[in-house]
Chain A
Amino acid sequence: HALCMVSDATGCGKERQGHMKMKLSRAEYKEIVRWTEQLRPTRQLVSNDIFLPFSPQKRTKRTISRHHAPDVIESHYQRYEKQTQRFILLKSSKTFLLRQLYCVLHRICLFCFIFLSTASKSVLNSMLKEPSLIPDQTLAKNVYQCTVNDCCYGPLVDCIKHAIGHEHEVLLCDKLREKNLSFLDENQLRAKGYDKTPDIILEVPVAVEGHIVHWIESKASFGDDHSHRTYLNEQFWSYWNRFGPGLVIYWYGFIGELDCQRDRGILLKDCFPTDIVVLGRAAQQD
């Protein structure tokens, strides 16, 4: 059933081109996650935002550290050395690692590589982004394969995410202009010397569903428990501490139960709000 929901949602998502509304209850979310875990990620899914909400980040984070221990890296490298065929990583990932974690794997390989060389971390990162920099041709090809096939991590996914994020920021700005609401964006704020900068600060606050909004943060992802908690601590409360109450738009929906700080000044929405009250406009109507 949940799978149906997901596929329905996927369909919807395609129809609405990323504007679908998804505010799930926590129970619904858990159900979906349970099913998507069984889905095998495909290359198509990487570019399809619908799976963003259900990215298995959490699990990966839990397991990834396991592979960072020197002895584990050593053993990985040994296996890699043993099977020097092409695309070894891709294949092996299906067998001995989490199926989806290509990137984890190539990172591991690179770690292995470094383990034997003296490359610094920044060099490593640049190699990840640009596999052609890797001196070892086979490894370079393997890494490239991984990057392309990984739907959760790696430069490609990062790039996609960043692009989606940026897209939604632009979308937000367009909507604000459409509504004739004047605002300052992140860059303007930074220039003024603000220490924390939300995506948007409204020059003249508005009220959304009866709640005052000073700033808007756009999040092109799904607001699950883990990410929301992190965002709250690192971003949203900091904004509140400086600019007062504000609005967070999780364009890909969020767990409904998380929207519990409204009265304290953090409002969650999964789309650009429609019920906006502007200062003076209501008074003029009277």
Chain B
Amino acid sequence: MAALLESLLTRKVDLTKVLDWLKNIQVGRKHPRTSSVTRSARVRCPTILHKHEFIPFLLNFLRDQSSQALTHGPATPAKTPSRPRPSASSRGFPERRSGLGHVSSPSFPASWSPASRPSGSERRPSQRISLGDYVRSGNGAGRHAGGGRAAHHADDNGRRTGRGGGTNEHVSPPSAGQLNFNNLEDFPPVGSSPVTPTGNKPSRRINPTPVSTDRSHSKPKMCFTSTPFTQAPSPPPLVLERPDTRVTAVSPHSLMEERELCKRAQLQTCSPAPASEEPCTPSKSEAPRLGSKVTPDQVREQHLFGLFLFSENLVPNVFLELFFRVRTLNSVHNCVYFAVKVLENQYHLLAHLDKCTLRLLAENERVASFSPRLRDRLSQAQDTSTAKVLSPSVSTFIHSVPFQPATDNRSNFSSDKAFHTFKKQRDIFYELLREWEDFHKEPGWIFDMALGSRIRGIMSQLTAAGNHSHFARLFLKQLVQMCKGPRVSGSSGDTPDADLLVMLGADGLGRLKRLEERLIQPHGVGGPCPPPSFPGHQEFFRDFLQAASCCQLNQHLQDSLCQQLLQLDEVSILSPPTPVTEREEEEGEEADEKQRFASVLLLARLLAKFLGFISFLPYQTTEKPSREIQEAAVALRSKSVPVLDVCGVLRNSMKHRRTILTVPWLVEFLSMLDFTGPLLLNYRVVLGTLKMTLGRCSETSYLNRLLIVSVLGWLFQVDSSLENSVCGVSIQDGIPLVDQQLLYTCCPFLDEFRKLLAAFVSGSSAKGGGIVRKITPTSAEPQDAAGGNGERSQQKLQADLEQAFFHNQPPSLRRTVEFVAERVGSNAVKHMKATFVSELVEKGDKMLRDGLESPKANPSKLNESICAQLCEAGLDALSRATRFCCEKSPEAIRILLPDETSPAVLTTSENITIHLATEKACGWLSANITGTLTWRHAWLCAPRTLKQGATRVTHGRKGHFTISQLNRIFSKDLLSVAVGPRMDEELPSGSRLQTLFRNVRDTLVCKKVQTQPR
């Protein structure tokens, strides 16, 4: 591996060859062109294995280099010494190679573990433990075996100079919870597991360490304790036989090679980027020249190589890599160039980040100087970005679970005693919740000490009264109510913070950031791979379950979680896209669908996380059990039925092309796995399948794909013991259901980009070195807040009241109202289209024809004036639609609600229905009617213009409709009226039909106009 890289770097092997080799997907056959590469490295394994190992290897190498560049500040932070959770390697199987390697890889030979190699392999350990080995191979079952151990080994011995140096203290705010570049938690080597425990604190103490000296003292130890040096691959080190002996250190110690490599790599990184390197990097000379012997070409090749990986989707966790690149932006070396290149290359991905990030990125001086084009594109992308960063504070107001007589009154309990016990328990439960809210953030407050005894009191009473099912229902409902995440209704999820920050700009933001740091504990940058967490109120529910440790309750919870999850998983999401002609009508519904999908997905993720938590709770251990224990556990647990048939669920979902819903929640479920869990057959299979999905995710919608890729990337990054095998399976869910908002909600770590960039901003100005200066805060424009605030709050209040109304009503009422509103709204639109709009079109038609008959007619002007008139008239459609909704909604509601419904409830339901239906209908109409009318007239004009010899169909191009499409739309509307006219007069006349056909003919005649290059 290292040799391969070596030969690549030294240009022994042509770069293009390697690229070809990587692109070649043939399994088990060596690409002829790579034979020289592989031979030089003395590797005799199937190429595919190498390929998949090589990618993470290379990525880590590049990262190391860059990190080296970042570390010219001489500081290495000391790590926090204790970790409640096991370290990276301990989560896996350090010695899987010798024992369980076969277990862990269902479909693929373990790739990187010595055991999996053909016996008598010529591959020498010296190579095996080379630089690349601490990079756990992306697909290796032996991730823990070869990679992880080697890495730790290396660390223990302080040899990994490549990782050397501290953080770039000079760019980060002094006390912020900053990223430690060398922190394996923040940047786990590709394919490795995180070592981040919950409650990990950013290290504060800084031990200055010379970069390239032995750093054994400053290196974190605890991450690697489980992989002592003695466990290094057992075969005795052999002498390097590689002809290319640039790496002369043929020491028996296998790490020498790595060390050498790193040293050289370091040199390379230090080399200045030559000004001639690339035409589009004008200010290359800005990078300080530190002197080096490495040729610019080599650097460039590396970069190209990295770029290639990105572009070919070969990167296992694209966000991790991107994050890293953004991080390197602020270094002083030519890896900045690479970073900018990568960012430029991944522009399409960046464009899906949130506005604030984009702005910060666009304002970054490095980006601006290295790639003005990227900066411009980023600035443009800001306008289209809709993703909002959700503020950490969720809802300030907790809602209770309503008392529903249908499920909660005396008749649902076995005895009076049970009923009254539950009454008390409900109150105690909320009392605990309130107490937790008040105190849990206070230092020294311990959940179990404060609430534990009361919780156990509830549990013992539950057992006495047999009320577990009731309590489980209350518990789950409350969980869903509080933790479902940002409400998709949009009324309450509105956070002005992000917009406000954007308004402030870089300078203001810098000040704000520093203020924030000074005033409160900074919410530090958590890195792109946070461990699974229970944010916000979820923490309460998790701790509650832990404190209760009541098996009856857990069983009841499991049952209903499973049931709810499977129900959600079957919720119908949009059928595959309809033909273009029908598309138009569904636009309005698409937004609804998206919203519904988001709500279902968020709920499923929440439930799945808790199901996973409860299911694997009995097996959770703080320390990774020994191999023997794990083996025994696997043998034992494989006999019992797992709580959820994950394989079946996933298979089913793939069959029905619903992975966009299933995968994200499965990821949540699986992220809760215990140490032994991934070794169980069904979890192994499902993880393998997921990995395939990651490798070959071919979602047609970019954001859909992005969501799947990022959650999977996260899962496999976080949970090291997950399987990794790559085959080709194509999964397609064609419907664009994911929006930026949802992506950010599901992958909160995407927000790290923003935090990181914001840290640059504040850091760059605070470089001076910890001198406390006065920060004059910039205030936002006050009049902005004052204007219209009252009205907005009134609207919000109304929306809240509407939600509150449903709170104490039976759930069926809400379903009915929403259903009726949806249908009536949709019918209103259809009705308007069939009647009023077509009338308008006809009117415009006539006006146009009359106008054209006059000799001095100017078609385009005429068209414009008619369009304006019609659009004005079109506004009338809104009031008509409103009237339609007002008439139809109450009728339907009256019929559908039970007779016993009280008048007040009935009236309110009717009003809400009218309101919702009107909103839907008018929303669609106002968004589309103008366009519709304009298009209609465009086509009327177009043939005429064409006849007059004009070569361009200017109006026809509006709205991206070709003439033929316009005709088609028109004829479709005509047909719809013809089929269902309100009165006889509406029937299209013969002359109209003739006109239509004439137009169609004209269109066909002028077909060449459309195909003409513009």
Interface residues of A (CB under 8 A from B): 181-182, 192-196, 201, 203-207, 210, 212, 214, 237-238, 240-245, 263-265, 277-280, 282-283
> Do A210 and B409 touch across chains, with their CB atoms under 8 A apart?
no
Contacts of A182 in B (CB 8 A): 902-905
CA distance A264 to B395 in the complex (A): 11
B434 within 8 A of A: yes
CA distance A210 to B798 in the complex (A): 10
B797 within 8 A of A: yes
Q: Using CB atoms, name the residue of chain B closest to A182.
A: B904
> Do A263 and B798 touch across chains, with their CB atoms under 8 A apart?
no
Give 12 CB contacts A-B under 8 Å. A182-B903, A182-B904, A182-B905, A195-B420, A203-B902, A214-B808, A238-B427, A240-B430, A243-B400, A244-B399, A244-B804, A279-B912
Known: A195-B423, A237-B430, A279-B801. Contact between A210 and B400, CB under 8 A?
Answer: no
> Do B400 and A244 touch across chains, with their CB atoms under 8 A apart?
yes
CA distance A30 to B722 in the complex (A): 67
CA distance A205 to B423 in the complex (A): 24
CA distance A181 to B402 in the complex (A): 21
> Do A244 and B807 touch across chains, with their CB atoms under 8 A apart?
yes
Taking a contact as CB atoms closer than 8 A, the residue among A194, A203, A245, A282 that contacts B905 in the complex is A203
Interface secondary structure of B, over-half rule:
helix
Top-9 shortest CB links A-B = A193-B409, A182-B904, A242-B403, A205-B804, A279-B801, A241-B430, A195-B423, A203-B904, A212-B804
Interface secondary structure of A, over-half rule:
mixed
Q: Using CB atoms, name the residue of chain A closest to B902.
A: A203
7 more A-B residue pairs beyond the given contacts A196-B423, A241-B427, with a C-beta to C-beta distance below 8 A: A193-B409, A237-B434, A238-B426, A240-B400, A244-B807, A263-B397, A279-B911
| A275 → chain B closest CB, angstroms | 11
Known: A240-B400, A243-B402, A264-B397. Contact between A195 and B905, CB under 8 A?
Answer: no
CA distance A245 to B797 in the complex (A): 14
CA distance A238 to B426 in the complex (A): 8
Contacts of B420 in A (CB 8 A): 195
In chain B between 779 and 827, which residues have their CB closer than 8 angstroms to a CB of chain A? 793-794, 797-798, 800-802, 804-805, 807-808
Contacts of A279 in B (CB 8 A): 798, 801-802, 805, 908, 911-912
CA distance A280 to B914 in the complex (A): 11
Taking a contact as CB atoms closer than 8 A, the residue among B410, B794, B902 that contacts A193 in the complex is B410
Known: A212-B804, A241-B426. Contact between A194 and B403, CB under 8 A?
Answer: yes
Q: Which of A205, A212, A241, A264 has its CB near the most chain B CB atoms (within 10 A)?
A: A241
CA distance A186 to B798 in the complex (A): 27
> Do B797 and A210 touch across chains, with their CB atoms under 8 A apart?
yes
Q: Using CB atoms, name the residue of chain B closest to A189.
A: B405
Q: Which of B397, B420, B801 has its CB near the most chain A CB atoms (within 10 A)?
A: B801
Taking a contact as CB atoms closer than 8 A, the residue among A203, A243, A264 that contacts B403 in the complex is A243
> Do B915 and A283 touch across chains, with their CB atoms under 8 A apart?
yes
The interface bits of chain B over 191-233 (1 if a CB of A lies within 8 angstroms of the residue's CB, else 0) are 0000000000000000000000000000000000000000000
CA distance A181 to B805 in the complex (A): 13
Known: A195-B408, A204-B904, A280-B911. Contact between A265 and B397, CB under 8 A?
Answer: yes
| A191 → chain B closest CB, angstroms | 10
Q: Which of A192, A193, A196, A277 has its CB near the most chain B CB atoms (within 10 A)?
A: A193
Q: Which of A181, A205, A243, A245 has its CB near the most chain B CB atoms (within 10 A)?
A: A205
CA distance A199 to B768 in the complex (A): 65
Contacts of A278 in B (CB 8 A): 801
> Do A280 and B908 touch across chains, with their CB atoms under 8 A apart?
yes
CA distance A279 to B908 in the complex (A): 8
Contacts of B800 in A (CB 8 A): 207, 212
> Do B410 and A243 touch across chains, with their CB atoms under 8 A apart?
no
CA distance A75 to B398 in the complex (A): 56
B471 within 8 A of A: no
| A245 → chain B closest CB, angstroms | 8
| B400 → chain A closest CB, angstroms | 5
Taking a contact as CB atoms closer than 8 A, the residue among B410, B426, B807, B912 that contacts A214 in the complex is B807
Contacts of A201 in B (CB 8 A): 808
Contacts of A240 in B (CB 8 A): 400, 430
